[in-house]
């Protein structure tokens, strides 16, 4: 049953991954079709509260009987029907999927579980993934975020953990055999936190962690990804700047022993962003800070909806650079000017981030890529 019927469910987030797609839906999970659906169970498989109860009711009396039989058999072995971090499968009965996986996540109303909730949540998702990979068909997986609802997992942390656990599963070296993961919720607070977490992950600039570089290059070619991976051997510490960009700090600071960049991050569906008012003040402050401190400020511009390397790097023109930064500056395109001489962001004029990372991580560290426009036709002169 791989067709996708989303009754009373709206698609809010879509994330392309190596092995398929992850979507976040707002609505009623019991009306979403797929191959496998996850029920956030309690350890008794009783279905007596929250979403667990509602899903069991929608499935019909057959599911309650099946859960009761599993509980009975496991108690004969002196085992819980389904412990925290465990999963069991049943038929779907009246729910619009082929199989159900009942997963017990942490119940944060219990202090003994709340204290270890992160580890327990990872164990729960691990049990789910292990179980799903044994089932056929499994092209479409429908699940609520584990630990939420009546189990009271903190929403912001839960949203971040959900993304940090599910995305690597769909981006990993091994194909789980799932083409689409549908995370379905009707909790406004959780959804808002999920939007924030997703936006932060999309705007993440790779500083040297393999996970971060993979996230930015997940849709890139093998050549582009290999170039970006050079930063893993010569990493930067990327930290959020204390200012908002209005004082010349940018959004991020990329720090390494031999160089430092203030970086202003911009994201748009449009290929051009024109600077005025506050954004022009940010540009002038970055320029002033660069000239006072001998730094090379950069803009990192991500174009939404682009497969492959969606980031472009442009420099703020500053005077007085010396040493390595001076040589490096010659290879990075500046923000182009409008007909009135005002700098603006043009995605097509920037340097792809995989080329930028290759440039700053080459053996010379400064002379690696010669580019007058930053497009894909730029020629490499030195490979580090």
**pLDDT of 363 over the 70 cut:** no
* Rounded Cα distance, 180 and 140, in Å: 5
Same domain (yes/no): 169, 248: no
Task: Evaluate whether 267 touches 302 at the Cβ level (below 8 Å).
Answer: yes
Establish if 30 belongs to a structural domain: yes
Structural tokens at position 206: 């790779």
* pLDDT attached to residue 225: 79
User: Structural domain of residue 81, as residue ranges?
Assistant: 9-202
* pLDDT attached to residue 374: 41
**pLDDT of 372 over the 80 cut:** no
Same domain (yes/no): 197, 249: no
Same domain (yes/no): 97, 195: yes
Q: What is the CATH number of the domain that holds 164?
A: 3.40.220.10
Predicted confidence band of residue 241 (pLDDT cuts 50, 70, 90): low
Predicted confidence band of residue 219 (pLDDT cuts 50, 70, 90): low
* Rounded Cα distance, 38 and 67, in Å: 14
Write down which residue in 202, 225, 245 finishes a domain.
202
Write down which residue in 144, 179, 202 finishes a domain.
202
Instruction: Convert the pLDDT of each residue in 9-27 to its tens digit.
Output: 788 888 878 788 999 999 9
Q: What is the CATH number of the domain that holds 286?
A: 3.40.1350.10
Same domain (yes/no): 197, 248: no
Same domain (yes/no): 108, 226: no
Establish if 1 belongs to a structural domain: no
* Rounded Cα distance, 218 and 212, in Å: 10
φ/ψ of 352, rounded to 5, equals -55, 140
* Rounded Cα distance, 147 and 350, in Å: 43
pTM (predicted TM-score): 0.63
Same domain (yes/no): 219, 129: no
Establish if 2 belongs to a structural domain: no
Write down which residue in 180, 202, 224 finishes a domain.
202
Same domain (yes/no): 169, 235: no
* Rounded Cα distance, 280 and 343, in Å: 9
* pLDDT attached to residue 208: 59
What are the CA-CA distances from residue 149 to residues 72, 158, 165, 239 (Å)? Answer: 27, 11, 19, 33
Same domain (yes/no): 17, 84: yes
Instruction: Convert the pLDDT of each residue in 252-306 to its tens digit.
Output: 888 888 888 999 988 888 999 999 988 899 899 999 999 999 999 999 998 887 7
Same domain (yes/no): 233, 355: yes
The residues near 46 (Cβ < 8 Å, ≥ 6 apart) are: 67, 71
Same domain (yes/no): 174, 222: no
* pLDDT attached to residue 161: 93
Number of domains in the chain: 2
Same domain (yes/no): 191, 100: yes
140 vs 206, more confident: 140
**pLDDT of 153 over the 90 cut:** yes
Same domain (yes/no): 196, 215: no
* pLDDT attached to residue 229: 84
* pLDDT attached to residue 211: 66
* Rounded Cα distance, 185 and 194, in Å: 10
């Amino acid at each position: 049953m791989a067709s996708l019927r989303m009754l009373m469910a709206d698609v809010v987030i879509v994330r392309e991954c190596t092995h398929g797609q992850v979507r976040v839906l707002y609505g009623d999970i019991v009306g979403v079709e797929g191959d496998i659906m996850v029920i956030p169970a309690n350890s008794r498989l009783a279905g007596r509260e929250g979403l667990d109860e509602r899903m069991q009711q929608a499935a019909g009396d057959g599911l309650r009987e099946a859960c009761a039989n599993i509980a009975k058999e496991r108690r004969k072995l002196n085992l819980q029907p389904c412990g925290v971090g465990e999963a069991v499968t049943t038929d779907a009965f009246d729910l619009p999927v082929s199989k159900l996986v009942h997963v017990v996540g942490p119940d944060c109303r219990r202090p003994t579980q709340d204290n270890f909730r992160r580890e327990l949540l990872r164990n729960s998702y691990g049990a789910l993934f292990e179980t799903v990979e044994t089932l056929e068909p499994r092209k479409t997986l429908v699940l609520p975020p584990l630990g939420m609802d009546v189990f009271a997992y903190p929403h912001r942390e839960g949203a971040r953990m959900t993304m940090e656990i599910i995305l690597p599963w769909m981006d990993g070296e091994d194909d789980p055999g799932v083409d689409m993961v549908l995370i379905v919720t009707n909790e406004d607070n959780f959804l808002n936190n999920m939007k924030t977490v997703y936006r932060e992950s999309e705007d993440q600039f790779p500083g040297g962690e393999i996970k971060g570089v993979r996230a930015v290059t997940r849709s890139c070619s093998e050549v582009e990804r290999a170039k970006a991976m050079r930063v893993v051997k010569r990493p930067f510490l990327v930290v959020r700047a204390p200012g908002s960009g209005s004082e010349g700090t940018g959004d991020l600071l990329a720090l390494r022993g031999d160089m430092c960049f203030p970086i202003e991050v911009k994201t748009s569906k449009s290929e051009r962003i024109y600077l005025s008012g506050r954004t022009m003040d940010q540009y002038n402050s970055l320029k002033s800070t660069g000239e006072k401190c001998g730094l090379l400020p950069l803009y990192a511009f991500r174009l939404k909806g682009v497969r492959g390397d969606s980031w472009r790097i442009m420099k703020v023109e500053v005077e007085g650079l010396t040493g390595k930064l001076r040589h490096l500056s010659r290879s990075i395109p500046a923000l182009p000017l409008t007909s009135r001489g005002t700098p603006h962001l043009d995605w097509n004029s920037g340097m792809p981030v995989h080329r930028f990372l290759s440039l700053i991580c080459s053996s010379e560290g400064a002379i690696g890529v010669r580019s007058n426009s930053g497009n894909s036709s730029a020629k490499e002169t030195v490979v580090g």
